[in-house]
Structure 1
Amino acid sequence: MSTSTDVRQERPGVLHVRINRPEARNAINDVVAGELARTFESAENSREVRVLVLSGAGEGFSAGLDLKAFADHGETGEVPGRGFAGIAKRPPSKPLIAAIEGFALAGGFELALACDMIVASRDARVGLPEVKRGLVADGGSLLRLPERMPLPIVMELALLGHTVPVETLHRWGVVNRVTEPGGAVTEALELASAIAANAPLATAATKQVLAHSSRALHAAGWEEQARITQPVWASEDAREGARAFKEKRDPVFRGS
């Protein structure tokens, strides 16, 4: 069994998927992304799975893209047809709940936003620091957040790159439930169990109708985003940001 993800059916109808790279802050590389995609594909075809819960091992949910793998090998954590972490562009058709402890930063926050609901501990650090590394948050957050929060608030969050209190995201409706530290996974599993107890056909149809109302799942939005962001990912600033992270120093950006 791989050590990058851990999959357990802990409760009837509920599949708990855990990113298991605590030594790398559960950062997403190509291996993890592929494993998550295969897990979600398998869950789609399983009658035993009605709801999924996604969490991270150790002290946090996910720090996002593995910048060391990006700096050394150009890994982007993308899965063809599914996007970042095997979920950003095409989440599972079955309800998916993110359980955030510790931190969900950059692509880790985008991974949570690709889920249908978020349960987070009140002390978790959440944010989109990509601009501080010469990168763009193009894993779905810039498409999804304006559907849930006022645009000026999203602008501040994304352009400053600072962390945002979980309580603030809860007030705006981005986070469904806030727990005491250490309680996010248990609360998410309880929520998932309550959903799994409902009629599976009705549950699936309800999610399908709601999901189709989202601009974030429309191909045109992703295509336009790629046109704008791909030159940034290919820039020297992007490489400098990743190198600076790896070398634990401040980046020197030149706008090229």
Structure 2
Amino acid sequence: MTMALPLIFETRGAVALITLNRPERHNALNPEMICRLADAFDRFEADPELRVAVITGAGEGSFCSGGDLELTLPLLTGARQPETEWDHRLAANREILFRSNFKGAHSVKPVIAAINGHCLAGGFELMLATDIRIAADHARFGLPEVRHALIPFAGALVRLPRQLPHAVAMEMLLTGDQVEASRLLALGLLNQVVPPQEVLPAALRVAERIAANGPLAIAEVKRATAEAAGRPYAEGYAIETESMDRIMASEDAREGPAAFLQRRAPAYRGR
């Protein structure tokens, strides 16, 4: 009997489906899963046929409960020495940890979170790195790190105050309390809250709609919005204009309007 992989990478047309697969451990991120997640994102980025990624968790209990307190956190603090090849790989290169949640480098391809259950700690930080979030109505969200004398270090200290009102972000960061999906939907951190069985189908429908659009245009939208964030208007407009110039010079930009006028489906080639 073969053991199930802790992370599953599937392709559905132009959509990559990435599943965190440790439901018996609330999909906690152990060193192997972190390495495999970084590799999965690298594979997604490198494949020109893949245009959108959907990341979800196995089961209906948890999307991801964060870093494994038994395996990952002790390895990172030095309380546990590397034992497996995954331990050694993560301990030798912490950029793998950062690549597993897009810390320091944003993807130019859209990533959708299909949040099937509780979304905590590193799982919450992974969600913050995504573009669109669809959550189960029973899911709860939180950053409990301070309760363990730790801090979030996978992007939340930077991303959360930019994605939520300051007071709400600081309440979550400083208390470690959990928040219901309905509250985060009202605050705009989530796009949809649906029954558990609808989470993945809803996410895939959005992914397919995005994948049908011009891939170069999608990439420039992501690149320009990320690079312009926090900059003065003049600098932001300059970044937007650079994106405009790249898109207007592309074959796809000529194909899109032509297909519309000819009442046919566009054939985008990504060039």
Instruction: State how many pairs are aligned.
Output: 214
Distance 1:122 1:85, change over 3 A: farther
Q: Map 1:66-145; keep pairs closer than 5 Å.
A: 66-69=68-71, 70-71=73-74, 73=80, 80-81=94-95, 83-84=97-98, 86-89=100-103, 90-145=105-160
Distance 1:214 1:67 in 2: 34
Moved over 2 A (4+): 70-85, 90-93
- Shift of residue 168, structure 1, vs aligned partner: 1.2
Which residue of the partner structure matches residue 46 of structure 1? 47
| Bigger mean CA deviation after superposition, 76-85 or 86-95 | 76-85
- Shift of residue 92, structure 1, vs aligned partner: 2.9
Which residue of the partner structure matches residue 224 of structure 1? none
Which residue of the partner structure matches residue 220 of structure 1? none
Distance 1:91 1:24, change over 3 A: farther
Aligned with residue 148 of structure 1, among 148, 163, 182: 163
SS at match of 1:145: helix
Distance 1:8 1:42 in 2: 11
Contact persistence 2:120–2:141 (CA under 8 A) = yes
Q: Map 1:1-256; keep pairs closer than 5 Å.
A: 3-10=5-12, 12-58=13-59, 59-69=61-71, 70-71=73-74, 73=80, 80-81=94-95, 83-84=97-98, 86-89=100-103, 90-214=105-229
- Shift of residue 46, structure 1, vs aligned partner: 1.0
- Shift of residue 81, structure 1, vs aligned partner: 3.2
Contact persistence 2:140–2:178 (CA under 8 A) = yes
Distance 1:146 1:178 in 2: 22
SS at match of 2:138: coil
The residue type equivalent to 2:220 in the other structure is A
SS at match of 1:156: helix
Q: Deviations over 1:24-70 (max 9, x none)?
A: 11111221111111111111121220000000112211000000003
Distance 1:210 1:122 in 2: 29
Task: Please tell me whether Structure 1 or Structure 2 has the larger radius of gyration of its CA atoms.
Answer: 2
Greater relative contact order structure (CA < 8 Å, 6+ sep): 1
Distance 2:117 2:57 in 1: 9
Distance 2:80 2:106 in 1: 26
Structure 2: 5+ residue stretches without partners: 82-86, 231-271
- Aligned-residue sequence identity (percent) comes to 38
- Shift of residue 84, structure 1, vs aligned partner: 4.2
SS at match of 1:61: strand
| Bigger mean CA deviation after superposition, 172-181 or 102-111 | 172-181
Contact persistence 1:32–1:77 (CA under 8 A) = no
Structure 1: 5+ residue stretches without partners: 216-256
Distance 2:165 2:201 in 1: 31
Q: Deviations over 1:210-244 (max 9, x none)?
A: 122346xxxxxxxxxxxxxxxxxxxxxxxxxxxxx
Backbone CA RMSD of aligned residues: 2.1
Distance 1:84 1:120 in 2: 24
Distance 2:111 2:229 in 1: 16
The residue type equivalent to 1:179 in the other structure is V
The residue type equivalent to 1:189 in the other structure is L
Which residue of the partner structure matches residue 248 of structure 1? none
